[in-house]
Amino acid sequence: MNVLGHLALLFVVVPILELMLLIEMGQWVGIMPTLALVVATGIGGAALARAEGLRVVFQFQKELAQGKLPGQAMLDGASVLIGGAFLLTPGVLTDFVGFALLFPLTRRWIQRRVKARLEGQIKDGTVRVVTMGAGGLGGFTAGGFGGGFGGAASPTSTPPRGSRSGARTFSYWIRIGAAYWFRRSSVGSIFAGRRC
């Protein structure tokens, strides 16, 4: 499924399903219990997301203090953020996914599945990984590392000849935008030895 298909699923199909489920639930148990459930899951989900988010932040700080790269804590933080957003969205399906992303056991299961799928997409070339090093942004492809942005690329340049596929062109423009922002931001000027 392409990006447009995923967006249609996310912004059209899921809200329609949520609305249908809420209407059915309202007819089955009544309108007030249904509204109470929506409000309760929103408030409870926000409180749970806050508590779980604080736990993830403490884990992140603990791993940094031990000199470790906090990879799992970063994944947990992203999962809690997405789960909290799903819980604030009214609906039954989004609440189910939101709670699944907040509880550590189901969150790890979902993370393993997403990681396996992403690794498969990287291997078959559907997804391209872009890294940042001392020379700027550069991508890793089957042929090796990209050249980075040591001044050769600008926001108005065009993608290289061999990268006209959708994912690669999108990746190219993301890299250009990130390099442009990095050069113009205070972070880029600090690395360049200048102060803002």
33 occurs within a structural domain? yes
The verdict on 34 and 76 lying in the same domain is: yes
User: Is residue 28 located within the same domain as residue 116?
Assistant: yes
- Top pLDDT among 147 and 133 is at 133
40 and 82 in one domain?
yes
116 with 145, same domain: the answer is no
> Are the CB atoms for 28 and 100 separated by under 8 Å?
no
Angle, in degrees to the nearest 10, between helices 71-88 and 104-123: 110
Same domain? 80 vs 168: no
The whole domain housing 134 covers 129-191
| C-alpha–C-alpha distance, residues 30 and 44, integer Å | 21
Band (182; pLDDT cuts 50, 70, 90): low
Q: Write out the two tokens for 13.
A: 């199909």
Question: pLDDT value at position 57?
Answer: 86
- If asked whether residues 109 and 150 sit together in one domain, one would say no
Q: Which of 71, 100, 122 is the last residue of a domain?
A: 122
Please report the pLDDT score of residue 156 as a whole number. Answer: 46
**Domain total in the chain:** 2
Cβ-in-10-Å burial (0-12, 13-18, 19+) of 171 comes to buried
Q: Helix-strand-coil percent breakdown of the chain, rounded to 5?
A: 70, 5, 25
Does one domain contain both 185 and 169? yes
Q: Which two tokens stand for residue 151?
A: 């001044």
Task: Examine residue 31 and state whether it is found in any structural domain, yes or no.
Answer: yes
Asked if residue 76 and residue 14 are part of one domain, the reply reads: yes
SS3 111: helix
Query: Does 157 fall in a domain?
Result: yes
Query: Residue 42 pLDDT more than 60?
Result: yes
In DSSP terms, 130 is beta-bridged to 139
Q: Which of 11-15, 24-28, 137-141 has the highest mean pLDDT?
A: 24-28
- Is residue 196 in some structural domain? no
Same domain membership, residue 135 and residue 117: no
Whether residues 10 and 88 fall in one domain? yes
37 has a pLDDT exceeding 70: yes
Sequence length of the chain is 196
Token pair of 137 as six digits: 């942004």
